[in-house]
Amino acid sequence: MARPWHLRHKLLLGLALVTAILGTLLGGSVQGLSSYITTMRITDSKLAELQLAQELRGSIQKLVEHGDPAEDRAGEPARIAQRLHDTRELLIRYKQQHQETIERHNDPDNGSNEAGAIQSLDESCKQFDAALEEAGKPKEVDNPGALLVDDPGVKSAHARLVQAVDNLHKAIYDDMYKRITTAKTHHRRSMFIVITCTSAAALLMAGMLYFFYGWVLYPLRRIQQGVRHVATGEFHHPISLKTGDELEELANAFDDMAARVQATHADLMRQVNERSRQLVRSERLVSVGFLAAGVAHEINNPLASIAFCAEGLLRRLHDIGTRYPQEGETIQKYLTMIQSEAFRCKEITQNLLEFSRVGERRREPTDLCQLIQGVLEMAYLLPGCRGKQILFQPQVRPVALINAQDVKSVVLNLVVNALDSMEDGGVLTIHLGQRGTMAELNFHDTGCGMEAEVLDNIFEPFYTRNRTGKGTGLGLFISHQIITQHDGVIEAHSEGPGRGSIFTVRLPLQGRATMPAADGAFAGWPADAVANPAIRAA
């Protein structure tokens, strides 16, 4: 697996390239500027030397110039000597200027070209002085009117002086030309470096802008969009960056965080909905409780009076029966029916009073396996159990701290609802196990199943979808209240209509009081129930 190319590495690479190009560009510029400054400095020094060399040439040329014709030959030696002295002074000044140029390192060849010309000038000056001295000596054929400058030896020495000063000029020009040639080379090199680096910098800048957009701007914009989506509650827009750097890690971490926030949000919404439904159930329960208490209290006394009157009439019926036998039998039949129905109504109102009572009922450690066994013994006698099968599959025998009568009513209600939802041949499977510190009961039937709307409202009071049409919508509501009061949980699940239902009940255990389930039928199970295929222990 290739190592990730971190963002800092990308930025450092770009910075290194920019620094290298700027350094090269700066180096080329500095080299060109330095070459220009050196050329100007050397040119300035050589121009000063050239000016002195020009003055030296003019002074040498004056050495052989004819004077005033009126002057005699006698004054010519002094005149030429003075000119020669001036020439030597100029040569000394040139030597000083040339030495200064060398000391300042302004001579391309460190004075090697001018050295020969200067030495030749010194020797030529000596030769010219000697030629003047030789020309001034008396000769065998003396020409009193002849001038010294016309002497062949003086002319020859003067020609050598002129040649030496010309050589000096040529050496100065050669140095200047050499420096200018070197400066041109440096200039071309600097221009090449500047143009190349400028082009590379332009290309690098374009590439850096492109990659900066792909490495930084685009990922940051995607992250910003993801943050905005999460801020507005839209969790289904992942960032999904593939940059292979810290921004991708940040985007992945943010996507994980958004997924956790979405899960937490969904769980909170589920809890809010559940608490809202529980609140509605509680409010309805309070209303039903007050209504039940009022109705039971108001109806109980009239029903007692009706039952008492019916009983009194039955005692007096004997005398009427002897006089009117046929009518007495009818009256007895109706009075018995009135008394029976009155007591039944009184029992219903008594149950409503029990339902409306507030407070905890007594709880005792109870063997849930034995409790379910007792409920199934009663369920076997119900008409709805005919042609259907109940499988009881206990894995352990948990002991829970409960009110046995209340939990029995819950189990009976779930069994009856399951039997009512199934056709002939249906199977109800009851599992009894343990999950952590909770006993778990699963009621799995093969009945008509439920839709999502029914599942959302299944525990609401007065809500019923019983296919027999006999339900009141209070059974599951009361069962939910009983399990909640026991600090337990009751849940309903269904994969859809015609695919059965699963009701799960969890109750807290008394410590870890559990016992292994017995093999085969439980002790105390009715023999006919075990033998009958409609209901048996699996």
Q: What is the pLDDT along the chain (538 residues), one digit of tens a residue?
A: 445 667 777 778 878 888 887 888 788 778 778 878 888 888 888 888 888 888 888 888 877 776 555 455 556 677 777 888 888 888 888 888 888 888 888 777 777 777 888 888 888 888 877 877 777 665 544 555 556 666 777 788 888 888 888 888 888 888 888 888 888 888 888 888 888 878 887 887 888 788 777 777 777 888 888 888 778 877 777 877 777 777 777 778 878 888 888 888 888 888 888 888 777 766 766 666 666 666 665 676 666 667 667 776 666 666 666 666 666 666 767 777 777 767 767 666 665 665 555 455 678 888 999 999 888 887 877 777 888 889 998 988 888 888 888 888 889 888 988 888 888 889 999 999 988 888 999 999 988 888 888 877 787 766 666 655 555 566 787 788 888 888 899 999 888 888 889 999 999 987 555 555 544 433 333 333 333 333 443 3
- β-strands 427-435, 389-394: how paired? parallel
457 contacts 473 by C-beta, under 8 angstroms: no
Contacts of 222 (CB under 8 A, 6+ apart): 239, 241, 251
397 contacts 515 by C-beta, under 8 angstroms: yes
Cα dihedral value 221, 222, 224, 227, nearest 10: 180
366 contacts 486 by C-beta, under 8 angstroms: no
d(CA 238, CA 235): 7
Question: Is the domain 364-537 a CATH 3.30.565.10 member?
Answer: yes
Q: Using CB atoms within 10 A of its CB, is residue 49 exposed (0-12), middle (13-18) or buried (19+)?
A: buried
DSSP letter at 532 equals S
CA distances from 119 to 165, 172, 296 (A): 11, 15, 147
- β-strands 389-394, 501-516: how paired? unpaired
For the chain, domain boundaries: 7-138+147-208, 247-356, 364-537
Q: Report residue 407 as tokens.
A: 């939990």
Q: Using CB atoms within 10 A of its CB, is residue 237 exposed (0-12), middle (13-18) or buried (19+)?
A: middle
**Domain boundaries 247-356, corresponding CATH code:** 1.10.287
